[in-house]
């Protein structure tokens, strides 16, 4: 944990007014997963990208159930700002720290997109990396929260694709 605090302290040394505003904006896009839900819905409404949109929404649902409902309360890791006194640039999150919900939602959307549209997924993966970094920059997650969040989001996207493919194969319903 000391190494993680040292990493966060190093990142906090990067603070400057413009970067503060950018990181606050980036992290706000991930609040409640709304930007990723919107992306999933928009993609789902177009026939050409329907499976991609459904995969994103299903992955986000899996992330929510296993991440927010099960893992966060079970592990109950305190956020770094509760241990190290730091002035937050955003409103203090009230849920637990591990894993990072912003990060797993971003990576779930990016990985889901990767299965169907490699070009779009590049932009989403870049956004997911920046999202994860914003959580460290804003001192609301430890590096392991973000790292595990990324892996968890990717895993949820893979599980969602498996469920979607299995459903399609077993029911014969073309999505």
Looking at residue 75, which CATH number applies to its domain?
1.10.606.20
Report the C-alpha gap between 146 and 124 in whole angstroms. 16
> Mind listing the pLDDT tens digit for each residue in 80-93?
998 877 889 999 99
What's residue 173's pLDDT? 85
On whether the CB atoms of residues 112 and 52 are closer than 8 A, the answer is: yes
What global pTM score does this model have? 0.94
What's residue 68's pLDDT? 96
Question: For the residues 101-122, what does the mean pLDDT come to?
Answer: 97
> Mind listing the pLDDT tens digit for each residue in 23-40?
999 999 999 899 999 999
Backbone angles phi, psi at 73, to 5 degrees: -70, -30
Question: For the residues 82-108, what does the mean pLDDT come to?
Answer: 92
Domain span holding position 88: 2-171
Taking the alpha carbons of 112, 157, 40, 75 in that order, is the dihedral positive or negative? negative
What's residue 87's pLDDT? 86
What's residue 1's pLDDT? 60
Residue 151 confidence (pLDDT) above 90: yes
Residue 127 confidence (pLDDT) above 70: yes
Residue 152 confidence (pLDDT) above 90: yes
Domain count, the chain: 1
């Amino acid at each position: 944990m000391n190494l993680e605090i040292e990493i966060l302290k190093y990142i906090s040394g990067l603070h400057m007014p413009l970067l503060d505003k950018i990181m606050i904006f980036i992290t706000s896009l991930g609040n409640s997963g709304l930007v990723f839900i919107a992306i999933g819905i928009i993609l789902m409404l177009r026939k050409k990208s329907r499976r991609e949109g459904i995969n994103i929404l299903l992955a986000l649902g899996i992330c929510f159930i296993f991440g927010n409902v099960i893992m966060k309360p079970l592990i109950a890791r305190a956020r770094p700002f509760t241990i190290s006194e730091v002035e937050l640039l955003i409103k203090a999150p009230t849920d637990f720290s591990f894993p990072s919900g912003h990060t797993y939602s971003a990576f779930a959307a990016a990985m889901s997109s990767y299965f169907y549209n490699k070009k779009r997924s590049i932009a989403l993966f870049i956004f997911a990396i920046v999202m994860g970094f914003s959580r460290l920059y804003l001192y609301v997650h430890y590096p392991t929260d973000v790292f595990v969040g990324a892996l968890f989001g990717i895993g949820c996207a893979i599980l969602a694709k498996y469920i979607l493919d299995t459903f399609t194969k077993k029911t014969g319903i073309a999505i």
